[in-house]
Structures are given as C-alpha cells and as structure tokens.
Structure 1
Amino acid sequence: MRERDVADLLDRAVETVTLPPGLATRVVARSRARRRRNLALSVGAFAVVLAAGVALLPLTRPAGTGGADRAGSSIDPALSGITGAGGRPVTADQVVASGRTGAETLVVVRRTARAEERALGGQAAEVWAVPDGGAPRRLSDYLSYDLGCAVGDEVCAAVRSAGDGLGLTVAHRSGGRLFVLVWAPAKRTVEVVAGGVPHQVGEASSGAVVEVVAEDPYEDVQVWATTTADGKRYRIVWAPGAVLND
C-alpha cells in the first residue's frame, strides 16, 4: 500500500481500538492520522477497524467469489505477465473481477487472506493494471473484501450470514479520470452513486466498471447491491486501500 493510501486510511480510523495481533502495525506503521472518525466495530470479544463505519460479523458459511469480466474486457492473466505467489503465472480461475479503465484493464486476483480475516469470513485479493500493449503493474498487494457491513445495514448482515458473499469495489484514478470497478455475486444488480449522481451498473458477477466524478471516493461514492430475488438493497463498503492513484 502506498504511503498516501495509508494516510487516507488513517483519516478514517478510530483513535482507540483493539486490533488482531500484527494488523495494526501492518496498516498504520510510520504514518500519522490527520483526522479521525468514530467507529463502533465488534466481533465476539474484540473489535477490528478496517474501513469507516464498517461492522464485522461472523459468517455461517464461506463467502463466494467471482470470475472473468462479463463485458468482454477480460484478459488471460497468464498471458499478460501477472504473477502470483512464488512467481507463478496467475490463471483465469484466480481472477475475481476485471474491467476496462481507459486504455488498460484492471484485474482483481484472489489471494490468501490473513488468518484473522479468514476467521471472520473475509477474503483478499491483489489488484493489477494491464495497459494495452504494456507490462502489467501491481497497484495493490492486499485488498480485503467480504469482511463487513455498514453499521446498521441489516440487509447486508442478513446477506452475509447466508454465506453468498457481499461484493467488492475498487477505485482507480488515472490520467485525471476516476474509474470504479465493482463485483457482486450472481443474481444481484449494482448501482454506483457518485456525488449524488446514480450510475446503473447492472449485473456484475464478473466485474464491471463505471467512470464517475468525485473528489474523495471514500466520502463521495457509494456502491449498492440489490438482490434480484426479493429486491433487498445493501451497501458494499470500501475496504482500506481500495482507492488507488497512479
């Protein structure tokens, strides 16, 4: 995670919480918070802070995952130079989501989540950018998802407890443009609201991208998923480090 990403995260962290062993040092080492927001997050006997206004809840079953880009912008990561653990080429079944962001493709690749996050039912991924005709670059080596709900979002809590996964969202600012890549499990539609302006994304079980205008995605952009079976709506929260800047 870049230093400026760490600073953004610290802006959204609470001053006093109890964190799983080692998590605090990984996230806040050598950084200082400029402003703080009160968050109340609890799971069992301890609290974990991962994003502003996010409540962590235990899962009854493992969460789901996604596949390749539905809009035809998917790439074969094994042929594009994306590598995983041990330098091995990443295969298509490791891709959670992908989508076009200008002249490149954003690819979210599944990776092993940390033990304390797995215990809460969370998952993790890396984020890569593959420019047209260029070498891929890794924008983030660790992004948490399926880990929590906005405080008070009862629909999200119910969906999460069913074990089908919640979704993820990544913002990428490049060349003065802001793109939001979203993923949600099948049988759900997605809406992105940026600065009060709604963007209907639709189904995004393989990933979908929308270009928006926003100064601070953490503050100005909300991502909502609606279940097609019963029309229930919940918010897909931002994870720490989910806003990536070139």
Structure 2
Amino acid sequence: MQIQPSVIHQSGRALCRSVAATVGLAAAVAATIATPTAASPAPPTAAQEGRDDPTPALLVRLSADLKRTVASDEIIAAATQLGETLVALRRAPNAGDSSAGFKASSVWAARGDGPFRMISDYLVYDWGCFGDDEICRESRPDLGYMAGHRLSDGHLLMLVWTPAGRPVSAKTAEGATMERSPGVRGWVMWARTRQPWQATVTVTRSDGRTYRLPHQPGGIIDRQP
C-alpha cells in the first residue's frame, strides 16, 4: 500500500494544529490559575456591628455624674443621637423577675454636655416574646435589649443591643423605616412617630431567620433628663 505525500502533509498540518490548540489551552489554564482572585471583603468592624467598647471618656463622665465608678461591663448599650446620649446600665433584677430568668436595667440620658440623669429606674429585658414568634422563643434566653425615649419634639429614640452583633432594623407604626447608626455599644434608631408603642424592632439571626423584640412594661420612656 502506497501512502501519498499529500496525505502525510495534510496529517502533519492537522497534528500541528492539534498541538497548537493544546498549547493554547494550557496557556489559558495557566493564565487563569496565575490570575489573582479578587480579595474577599473585610469583615465588619466592631463599630459597624454596633458592639464597640465604651470610650474612657464616657466611663469617666458617667462615674462623675453617678458619683460612683461605672465599669465597662455594666453598660448594656450606649449611643448618641439628636443631641442626646442614652445609656442602659445593668442592675440586679427583683426576686420575681430573677426567678423567671429576666434581666434588669436602669436607663440614663444626657442632653449635649449636660449631666446624666436617670429616666428609668427599672426596666426588664430578655423577658418574653410575641405569642406567635417561634424564632424568638428558640433564641431565648439572649434576645437583646431595647429601650425607647420619646423626645419633646416628637422623635422616638430606640436604644438597642443584640447578641453577637445581630443586625437589627425598626419601623414606626406609620410604616417608616427608622434611621440607624452604631453607638459605642449597640445601636440607636430614631424617627418621628405619634405611636411610639407601635414601633417594631426586628432582629436577624446568623441563619437568616428573624424575630421581634417586644416592648417591655415601661419600655417607652417619656421622662426628660
């Protein structure tokens, strides 16, 4: 059997094309591997999550106004907005609340650079859930903290802290989303509303499911500092 030179020539060209294609594919793969991937976004800072530590200046100021040493771990939440600084401090719950597993706080407020004055002597938290909120019941006992202060100009300030920096949002009874900013610990949210008791605060867990923080007795405070 005689093989024609043209067949050899054509086969050689086909082989060259095949080798070139293989080399080109290898080069493309190598380039893909060598190309650095985009850097992953940096995790949120403590301040962005609303869980930064209180500043020494705040502790000094509180200690001076309360006439005792206030330690950092006493502060549940603290934030400043609309010219007012709100601070929630841990306190011992009464016997009944303690036996039920509830926690307690006092709430302090200061206008501008003025002194801190107590606006609520006793406010419970981690105390309950809405009846139909199964996610809330699953999340107990550490649900979070919420206290509202109604200002004389019609604004409602909501001081909120959540475990592990869980994201939080709030809406007024009128349907408006409340503004939000991180405090030195926790969050502060604010909006004008005529029905402060109807404001809803929603917490998002790490698994994406949500629950609502219910208003505790006395949780919307009218007293001014």
Given the two structures, how large is their TM-score scaled by the length of structure 1?
Answer: 0.62
Q: Per the alignment, in what secondary structure is the counterpart of residue 79 of structure 1? A: helix
Which residue does 2:85 correspond to in 1?
Answer: 105
Instruction: Look up the match of 2:210.
Output: 233
What residue number does 2:145 align with? 168
Q: Is structure 2 residue 101 aligned with structure 1 residue 121?
A: yes
Q: Distance in 2 between matches of 1:235 and 1:131?
A: 29
- Per-residue deviation, 1:70: 4.2
- Are the aligned partners of 2:87 and 2:107 in contact in 1 as well (CA < 8 Å)? yes
| Unaligned ranges ≥5, structure 1 | 1-68
Provide the residue aligned with 2:125 in structure 1: 145
2:19 corresponds to: none
Per-residue CA distance 1:121-160 (angstroms, 9 max, x = gap): 1100000012322111100000000011111110000110
Say whether residues 1:134 and 2:114 are aligned partners.
Answer: yes
SS at match of 1:198: coil
> What SS is found at the alignment partner of 2:129?
strand
Q: TM-score if structure 2 supplies the norm length?
A: 0.68
Contact preservation (8 Å) 1:168, 1:238: no
Write the distance in 1 (CA, Å) between the matches of 2:179 and 2:99. 34
Q: CA deviation at 1:206?
A: 2.4
Point out where structure 2 has 5 or more consecutive residues left out of the alignment: 1-49
Report the aligned-residue RMSD.
Answer: 2.4
Whole-angstrom CA distance in 1 between matches of 2:182 and 2:115: 30
Identity percentage of aligned residues: 32
Which structure is higher in helix share? 2
Return closer, same or farther for 1:91/1:71 CA change in 2, 3 Å cut-off: closer
Between the two proteins, the alignment pairs up a number of residues equal to 170
Q: After TM superposition, where is structure 1 displaced by more than 6 Å over at least 4 residues in a row?
A: 202-205
What's the counterpart of residue 200 of structure 2?
Answer: 222
Distance (Å, rounded) in 2 between the aligned partners of 1:71 and 1:133: 21
Map Cα deviations across residues 51-95 of structure 1 (whole Å, 9 max, x no partner).
xxxxxxxxxxxxxxxxxx647885523433343xxx633222200
